[in-house]
Amino acid sequence: MNQLEALKQFTTVVADTGDFHQLAQFQPRDATTNPSLILKAVQKPEYAPLMRATVAQFKDRSLDEIMDRILVRFGCEILNTVPGRVSTEVDARLSFDTTATVTRGERLIELYQAAGVHTERVLIKIAATWEGIEAARILEQRGIHTNLTLLFSFCQAVACGQAKVQLISPFVGRIYDWYKKQAGAQWNEAAMAGANDPGVSSVRQIYNYYKHFGIATEVMGASFRNTGQILALAGCDLLTIAPELLAQLSAQDGSQLTRAMDADSAKTQELKRVIFDEASFRFALNEDSMATEKLAEGIRAFTADTLKLETLMQQAAA
């Protein structure tokens, strides 16, 4: 048994890619996409015709609608390969606009429904800003499930649980990146591996809190830098993993892999319930310089890749 097969005994494995041709070999249940992954995919020769065809079909529509149609087209192709759900992201430029995020999320769902996809198979992916979490609360109340992304802090996770979102994606690798950069030459890779990895410990804290208090929101670790981070989270509800790391897991013996996280043990911990309103959420996020920086940086990066994608769309329409 390889590590990927062993991991699947404890955790639902999700593929983190827009490259749907890669999916079948790893047999993930779900798949996640984001603007950066879609941008990467459409620049490959095998996917360029898909984008050109979508742009040609809807060239008289607004740029943002054509974008959504491309995202949904990729999502539908992914759903032909995976048995579960696909996560499709709302434009990152709407991260601080609750109303616009709700409207865009509803349109994405309508496009999926028009393509014959059931709502239960789609997660609308939204940045875990206060405005994004509020938008997710509204969408969930309307029967549209959400995946809150760019999540780096405990306060973001607690607020998402309060909003009864379907799933959160805490970013392990980007947390690790920040602490490693801060430490500079003082960073000890071996000492900060496994359970001591700051990204891993962040996900474990969130998982234990959710399970202890019976919060139904699913925890999906994301953004991994190495397989050690993934294996240290065996037992997490879901883990979304890039194809390169899925391949590494498939190539390694997994007979020694054991469960690292467990809902029953989380229930026995002594934990304090926390409630955030907007003011206390913003203050807690502000107190966490890593989360503040990484959230802002993530929104900027997704926005930049969305703009690049729009440029490619305009070139395809010319």
Name residue 220's beta-bridge partners: 238
Choose, from 44, 59, 125, 267, the residue flagged as catalytic.
125
Residue 257: what pLDDT?
Answer: 97
Q: Is residue 318 predicted with pLDDT exceeding 90?
A: no
pTM of the model: 0.96
Strands 86-89 and 167-170: unpaired
In CATH, what number is assigned to the domain containing residue 162? Answer: 3.20.20.70
Beta-strand ranges (E) seen in 62-186 are: 86-89, 122-127, 146-151, 167-170
List of residues 6+ apart from 27 with CB closer than 8 A: none
Segment holding 45, helix H or strand E: none
Residue 142: what pLDDT?
Answer: 98
How far, in Å, CA of 193 to CA of 153, rounded?
19
Q: What is the pLDDT of residues 243-266, one digit of tens each?
A: 999 999 999 999 999 999 999 999
* CB-CB neighbours of 186 under 10 Å: 7
- The range of the structural domain enclosing residue 283 comes to 3-317
Question: Per the structure block, which two tokens stand in for 280?
Answer: 């206390």
Residue 40: what pLDDT?
Answer: 93
* CB-CB neighbours of 130 under 10 Å: 20
Q: Is residue 317 predicted with pLDDT exceeding 90?
A: no
| 294 assigned to active site | no
Q: Do 207 and 225 form a contact (C-beta atoms < 8 A)? A: no
Residue 190: what pLDDT?
Answer: 96
Helix spans in 43-97 (H): 48-57, 63-79
- Total domains, the chain: 1
Q: What is the pLDDT of residues 142-174, one digit of tens each?
A: 999 999 999 999 999 999 999 999 999 999 999
Residue 113: what pLDDT?
Answer: 98
